[in-house]
Amino acid sequence: MRIVSLLLVSSFAATALSASPALAETDGKTLPGAACLASEDGVTKIVRDGRQHAFNSAEQRATWYCPVIKDNGLGIIRKANVFVSDKSVTDLVRCALESRNSNGTLVAVSRRTTGGGAQGENDTFVQDVELTFDTVVQGTNPGYYALVCDVPGKTSVGKSGLFMYDVLED
pLDDT at 2: 36
Instruction: Say which residues have a Cβ less than 8 Å from residue 31's Cβ, sequence separation at least 6.
Output: 66, 67, 68, 69, 164, 165, 166
- Gap between the Cα atoms of 90 and 12, Å rounded: 58
Whether 37 has a pLDDT exceeding 80, the answer reads yes
pLDDT at 44: 63
pLDDT at 125: 46
pLDDT at 84: 94
pLDDT at 14: 40
pLDDT at 18: 41
Nearest to 67 by CA among 161, 149, 153, 159: 149
Q: Write out pLDDT tens, residues 98-112.
A: 988 889 899 888 999
pLDDT at 71: 78
- Gap between the Cα atoms of 149 and 66, Å rounded: 8
- Gap between the Cα atoms of 133 and 94, Å rounded: 12
Q: How far is CA 111 from the centre of its chain?
A: 12
Q: How confident is the model at residue 121 (pLDDT cuts 50, 70, 90)?
A: very low
Whether 167 has a pLDDT exceeding 50, the answer reads yes
Domain extent listing, the chain? 26-169
| CA angle, 53 then 35 then 117, to 5° | 75
CATH class of the 26-169 domain in this structure: mainly beta
Q: Are 99 and 147 in contact (CB under 8 A)?
A: no
Stated as kind and residue range, the H or E segment containing 9 is: helix 2-19
Cα dist from 145 to 66, 101, 108, 119, whole Å: 9, 9, 10, 21
